[in-house]
Chains A and B, each alone.
Chain A
Amino acid sequence: MFRLDSVSKSYGSEQALDGVSLTIAPGDTTALIGPSGSGKSTLFGLLTGLMKPDTGIIYFRDQDISRGSIRELRQHIGYVIQDGGLFPHLTGHGNVSLMAAHLGWSRSKITSRVDELLDLTRLSPEVLARYPAEMSGGQQQRVALVRALMLDADVLLLDEPLGSLDPIVRAELQQELAKIFRRLRKTVALITHDLAEAGYFSDRIVLLRNGRVVQTGSINELQNSPADDFVRQFVRAQQLAGVGQ
């Protein structure tokens, strides 16, 4: 679905991505993990087209998206950020139907699609009548997910989707998201800073450090055959943090 070919990106003197090559296959769920400053967010910026690479090429469905406008392609990409990124001046319903209405969908088509997704995400319709400020954190994330799925995008990009939720809500939503991903069979890429969460969602974890891919593999591979000392330390630190929780 996505293919990155020696992609580099820097901000001034700071090298954010350094010759990254990576493939995200259709139907796969890929977790991007790494310490802050490792280049995860920059990578997402490039996948969503919000940034352009300095060198290298990025393909989305075999189309070069590293130059020029990709607005038409965006309908195929669903995007959810840490706090949901819901527009505070619109109700939940206004948020999820915004793009569909912009594309001229009929009201009945919008309604049936929203109902479908409410079912999938187990959201009650009355939540959609509220403004984001009136929703709980978990509700906001579900509504954001509905918004991202509204146009039936092929790819879901989730930037720390559970990052700002309290542990109980987080565990609950984690299970549900995994179920939803399995049911939808969509291509999913998500950023997390939690190795356990990455392992929970995905068999394919991409560990980044200083703008380079250090290791790609399942959580077991990262734990049992770390590529270098950094991977070993990273895994141990995550396990210690996990014990602490």
Chain B
Amino acid sequence: MKKIKKIILSVNKLKKTARMNLKSDVMNQFTGQSWVYSDIVKDHFFNPHNLLLKNPKKGDFDSEGEVGSPACGDVMKMWIKIDKKNDKIKNLKWKTFGCASAIAATSMFSVMVTEKGGMKIEKALKIKPQDIIKRLGGLPERKIHCSVLCDKAFRKALNNYFRQSGQIQRIIIESGRIIDKRLNITDKDIEEAVLEGARTVEDLQKKLKVGVGDKEAIPETEQLLRFYYEKYYGKEN
């Protein structure tokens, strides 16, 4: 029995070192920390900032935007209030049905655009998923494409605001974001393919080979396909 106790003690020691130094899939590729996510992600996941917990009253916000699909596991909804005089983001609230990285990324984004008295709209529009991930101290690569939806929700909310306030010339037309890293295929390419008649991912793959070398591109390709289809041909019945 003494032997067993010794082994159990060594097991505890093993657990302790594992906690400090886990070299496996769960290791964060940017920080080397043993949790799946960085400490900043963890903090924003457990204590998210700028959550909308009550239904908004009329006038609380200027506009809202929603992206994602519950079937994919992530839906993002965002509300914004604009400081019209200074063209700044005065307030930004959000809600999400999503995993830990989706919650943390949106929380971080909301902090970024509202801190220090609010960010200029032009500047806020330049925030890329990579900027959010950097401030979060990294995200596991496979989680990036599906969980960083906040910049898209934000653009949607902002476009709604521009439309409502008659600033038609400011409406952002999405362009040139690389979707398939292997073949440098952008959302613009996908949009064109949809306009040329692509209706399924298979159609897109025939035309563009999107997602053939870069499997990670497929979920986003799917979302874009749906987005452009609805944009140009209306909702499916």
| Co-assembled chains A and B | no
Q: A: which residues have CB within 8 A of B? A: none
Q: B: which residues have CB within 8 A of A? A: none
